[in-house]
C-alpha cells in the first residue's frame, strides 16, 4: 500500500444550502434554456440560514446546454464560488405538462474537482503526488468513488476508495482509504 493514511476533507461552497431538490419552469419551447436553468438552480441556493442567496455569496451557476423538455432528460450544471470551489448540479426532468417542465437537482463532484481535493489532502500529509485521477461521486451520504494515485518514488499506482460521509448543503465531507 502506498497511501496508508485516512483523511476527511471539508469541500467547497461551505456556507451554501440547496434549499430544495426540485424545480419547475414554464417554457415556450421544447427545452429549458441554459439561462433559465441557471436562474432556477441559483434560486434554490440560500446562504447562512437564508440570510443571502447565491449571487450575494459570489456563487455563479453555469449551464452549458439546454435541458430537453422530455422525461428523464438530463444536463449537468456547475456552481463555482469566488475561490474556484466547484459543485455539480445534475438536473433530470421528472414531468412535462404542456409548457411546464419539472426537474430534480442532484449534487455531485466531478472527477477533476474530487482529484483536486484528494490531492491537496495527500500533499498536506507529505505525499508528493505525480498523478491522480478520480471518478465522479454523487453528493449523497455513503456514495462511493475511486481514485488512482501515483506518488513520487512508488513503483506502482495505488487505488483509493472515496466515501461521502456527510452532506451539509453544498458542503461535502469525505473519507478515503487505500484499497490496493
Q: Mean pLDDT in the chain?
A: 82
Q: Which of 109, 140, 170 is the last residue of a domain?
A: 109
Overall number of domains in the chain: 2
Q: Which of 85, 109, 133 is the last residue of a domain?
A: 109
Quote the radius of gyration of the chain (alpha carbons, Å). 18
Question: Across-strand partners of 146?
Answer: 161
Residue 97 within a domain = yes
Separation of alpha carbons 158 and 4, rounded Å: 10
pLDDT band of 167, cuts 50, 70, 90 = confident
Q: Are residues 71 and 35 in the same domain?
A: yes
Q: Is residue 163's pLDDT more than 80? A: yes
pLDDT band of 15, cuts 50, 70, 90 = very low
Residue 169 within a domain = yes
Q: Are residues 92 and 30 in the same domain?
A: yes
Q: 104: domain range?
A: 16-109
Q: Are residues 23 and 77 in the same domain?
A: yes
Q: Is residue 169's pLDDT more than 80? A: no
Q: Which of 51, 75, 109 is the last residue of a domain?
A: 109
State residue 143's pLDDT score.
96
State residue 1's pLDDT score.
37
Amino acid at each position: 500500500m502506498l497511501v496508508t493514511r485516512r483523511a476527511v476533507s471539508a469541500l467547497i461552497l461551505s456556507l451554501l444550502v440547496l434549499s430544495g431538490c426540485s424545480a419547475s419552469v414554464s417554457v415556450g419551447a421544447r427545452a429549458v434554456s441554459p439561462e433559465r436553468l441557471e436562474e432556477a438552480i441559483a434560486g434554490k441556493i440560500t446562504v447562512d440560514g437564508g440570510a443571502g442567496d447565491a449571487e450575494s455569496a459570489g456563487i455563479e451557476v453555469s449551464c452549458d446546454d439546454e435541458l430537453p423538455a422530455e422525461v428523464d432528460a438530463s444536463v449537468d450544471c456547475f456552481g463555482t464560488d469566488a475561490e474556484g470551489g466547484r459543485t455539480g448540479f445534475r438536473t433530470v426532468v421528472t414531468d412535462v405538462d404542456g409548457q411546464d417542465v419539472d426537474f430534480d437537482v442532484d449534487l455531485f463532484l466531478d472527477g477533476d474537482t474530487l482529484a483536486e481535493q484528494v490531492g491537496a489532502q495527500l500533499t498536506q500529509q507529505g505525499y508528493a503526488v505525480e498523478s491522480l485521477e478520480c471518478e465522479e461521486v454523487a453528493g449523497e451520504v455513503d456514495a462511493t468513488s475511486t481514485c488512482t494515485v501515483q506518488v513520487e518514488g512508488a513503483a506502482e499506482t495505488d487505488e483509493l476508495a472515496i466515501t461521502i460521509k456527510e452532506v451539509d448543503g453544498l458542503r461535502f465531507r469525505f473519507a478515503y482509504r487505500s484499497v490496493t
